[in-house]
Amino acid sequence: MAGEDNGELESLDELVEEPAAETEAGIGIETETNQWETSYGDQKVPCLLLDRSLKIVRSNDSFAQLFGVTKDLPGTYFTRFYSPFFDDKKSSELYRSVLSADNGYSWNGKIEKIGRDELLNVFKVWISPVLPAPPTAGPGASTVPPGAYSAICLDMTDEYRHLLNTTFQSLLGAARLKDNDTGNHIERVNRYSHVLAESLLGHPDYHEVDKQFVDAIGLVAALHDIGKIGTPDDILNKAGPLEAWEWEIMKQHTTNGAYILSTYPNPMAREIALRHHERWDGSGYPHGLSEDLIPLCAQIVAVCDVYDALRMWRTYKEPYTHERTLEIMIKEKGTHFAPSLIDRFLAVATQFDRIFAELLDAQ
């Protein structure tokens, strides 16, 4: 491929060619641009004009308002703009589709991208020729690839978030019917998780934490014990300590939770359910992972869940004060919990105490 910006598409060189000033049929890109401007320039629907290699030529105002970008768009590959959603495999599939007469030189699908609000946005995209590809002359005539494409991008984010929330509420309702923990415990863990994750924003050791991460964990942390749906009631609600065999059954709630959440749209929920009982020193369950092999989202929820469990009244223990809880958790630094995460927890611990007081369980 010509040009210097080809790092993402080196494996696709055989599929993509730079557009010439005139197509084989003699239709210039200027003609295609004028047609696109007439059809989409003033439309409320966000739309891009792409050349034959799927580089962005122009965007309409609706697209610019959606993403807040205009200056750097021209010359950017469509797949690069929507990176990292488009990996090499997805990029190859896209190019093969728009270069295929059998597909009508078109492609449609769902695309994800972090939007101006720094949260995940979901789009339904249609890519199709600006003008119909004209036939070549002579026996066995066939069509040639179009000179330019339009990419219509419909924002489906509200519908996507509604689907996530509806599924979440259904799962949460099932969990509350089964577990003897209160709804306040679930809400507290959500709020603790949001506070602790937010405290990691911009921290050099936690590059994966962004606004999307914070927003997600503040919702799906509530599903950490969803797997208890599969735990027998006599074990789940036992007043005293569990026998060894009962404890083995109880620990299965992690793998059960991962199974239940395996198709949940946000994979963070599954990771939390499966890994929130792993320990920094490798002595946790279900798989004895240690240190950074434990997903950060699960490490965060582990801190929050343990804090709340210590503060709560249980049939087998009295509630601990905030100060006593901190003493216990500090002793677990480097064993149960990551040292740096406990340091961040201590920095925001007063917020945990305040959340616990605001959402105190009725005795």
Which tens digits make up the pLDDT trace of 346-357?
999 999 999 999
**DSSP tag of 44:** S
pLDDT of residue 113: 78
pLDDT of residue 304: 96
- Helices 211-220, 157-178: axis angle to 10 degrees equals 30
pLDDT of residue 336: 96
* CA atoms lying within 13 Å on the CB side of residue 46: 15
Closest CA to 178 of 245, 241, 223, 239: 223
Round to whole Å and give the CA distance between 95 and 107: 9
Per-residue pLDDT band for 20 (boundaries 50, 70, 90) equals very low
Residue in the structure block whose two tokens are 């065999």: 245
Closest CA to 306 of 347, 278, 281, 339: 278
**Which top CATH class is 10-155?**
alpha beta
**Which top CATH class is 160-358?**
mainly alpha
pLDDT of residue 342: 96
Round to whole Å and give the CA distance between 128 and 44: 18
Query: Where does the chain hold its CATH 1.10.3210.10 domain(s)?
Result: 160-358
Q: How do residues 135-188 score in pLDDT, each as one tens digit?
A: 544 454 455 678 889 888 887 777 767 766 777 777 767 666 665 555 688 889
Least confident stretch, 9-13, 36-40, 311-315: 9-13
**DSSP tag of 35:** H
Q: How do residues 177-216 score in pLDDT, each as one tens digit?
A: 665 555 688 889 999 999 999 999 989 889 999 888 998 8
**DSSP tag of 22:** B
What tokens does 173 get?
């309702």
Q: Which amino acid is at 219?
A: L
Bridge partners (DSSP) listed for residue 6: none
pLDDT of residue 315: 67
Query: Which residues are identified as catalytic?
Result: 228
Quick check: 2 pLDDT over 90? Answer: no
pLDDT of residue 110: 83
| Burial group, residue 104, by CB count within 10 angstroms (0-12, 13-18, 19+) | middle
**DSSP tag of 27:** -
pLDDT of residue 24: 38
Round to whole Å and give the CA distance between 19 and 25: 13
pTM of the entire predicted model: 0.64
Q: How do residues 311-329 score in pLDDT, each as one tens digit?
A: 988 766 788 999 999 999 9
Residue 128 · residue 77 · CB < 8 Å: no
Q: How do residues 46-94 score in pLDDT, each as one tens digit?
A: 888 898 889 988 888 888 777 766 666 788 888 888 888 888 888 888 8
pLDDT of residue 298: 96
Q: What percent of the chain has pLDDT over 90?
A: 32
pLDDT of residue 176: 66
Helix or strand or coil: residue 356?
helix
pLDDT of residue 9: 40
Q: What is the mean pLDDT of the chain?
A: 81
Query: Where does the chain hold its CATH 3.30.450.20 domain(s)?
Result: 10-155
With residue 226 as reference, give the H or E element that holds it. none
Closest CA to 105 of 113, 97, 95: 97
Q: How do residues 225-251 score in pLDDT, each as one tens digit?
A: 888 888 888 888 787 788 899 999 999
